[in-house]
Amino acid sequence: MSQTNILLEAGTNELEIVEFHLDETDEQGGVYQGYYGVNVAKVLEIIRMPKVTEMPEVRHPSVLGAFNLRSRIIPLVDLALWLGKSRIQTKEEPKVIVTEFNNVNTAFQVSGVNRIHRISWEEVEAPNAYVSSMTRNTITGVVKMDGRIIFLLDLERIVSDLNPQLGLRLDNAIDWDVTKQYRALIADDSTVIREMIKDLLQKAGFIVEAFTNGRDAWEKLLSIKGKAEAANRPLSDFLQVVISDIEMPQMDGHNFCKRIKDDPILKRLPVILFSSLITDKLRHKGLSVGADDQIAKPEITFVATRSIALIKQAWGE
């Protein structure tokens, strides 16, 4: 099963997820299936269990080793082990989901793959604090479907925990010129990333307001637009730039950006998409909704430098 150009049109607030399962045991020794999902845009292909070679000095037991896939050496992670689950081996042959995001290839071993679902981001609920704590904060969304619950996994979190060098990189050596103050709006469902962007922008002289999803951020923009019109003042007096993740519950970044660029007043706002989904193959989606710039995680420092450049270009600040 391979991914062959089944990507959706950008800006529709829809996504496709690959649903898979892990055969697990509960505390009483019973067997059940846990259902999980991942964005199709991150999946290169789904393959049978390959021949794996152990890797030297691997610290986490969930890293089973690496395998060769068309001249690429790809590490294989036992997803059940990483999640702290007791996975059991059934008659079904395990499957391997090969992913690509943040310009890195990683494979994940699962018990089996069910199917692909097309859903709206409005159907994706943010996990509550209890679910997050019980799943090592690796659940980004919850989907209720056909009488079962599908947990959307934060694969970026897993990869960066296994290899911190692949996590967000912040260049603290930059001496920011804070003689001028700007205003920015952030939308990102990850608390860690949201706070990192906020901290970075504040160091660069920004006043920042942050939201956990595109819908809340969009409602705030409409409020700002109303205030500007009521005061007969330019929009730039209230806000100069928007920075948004792509994958978010309720409203994704592409739909959020499209709404901004379709609005006759808000369209002047520079919009930066900051996401692990910014790749050569997917960059056209951001362009199609009018994004002014697209920055691939983990290069977070670029968010501030590009924001300042776009503000100067758009508003002459």
What is the pLDDT, as a whole number, of residue 175? 61
Distances from the Cα of 6 to the Cα of 39, 42, 116, 282, angstroms: 12, 12, 10, 12
Is 60 exceeded by the pLDDT of residue 241?
yes
H or E element at residue 120: strand 112-120
Q: Which of 62, 67, 64 lies closest to 51, judged by CA? A: 67
75-86 pLDDT tens trace: 999 999 888 887
From the candidate CATH numbers 2.40.50.180, 3.10.450.50, 3.30.1490.20, 1.10.150.130, the one assigned to the domain spanning 14-164: 2.40.50.180
CA distance 131 to 78: 21
CA distance 63 to 31: 24
11-68 pLDDT tens trace: 889 999 999 999 987 767 777 888 999 999 999 999 999 999 998 877 788 899 999 9
Confidence of residue 10 (pLDDT cuts 50, 70, 90): confident
Q: Which of 225, 223, 280, 287 lies closest to 254, judged by CA? A: 287
What is the pLDDT, as a whole number, of residue 282? 80
Work out the mean pLDDT of the chain and round it to a whole number.
87
253-280 pLDDT tens trace: 999 999 999 999 999 999 999 998 888 7
92-116 pLDDT tens trace: 889 999 998 877 899 999 999 999 9
Q: Tell me 62's DSSP state.
A: T
Indicate the length of the chain as a whole number: 317
Is 90 exceeded by the pLDDT of residue 195?
no
Q: Is the pTM for the entire model greater than 0.85?
A: no
Enumerate the domain spans of the chain. Answer: 14-164, 168-315
CATH 1.10.3470.10 holds for 168-315: no
Is 70 exceeded by the pLDDT of residue 215?
yes
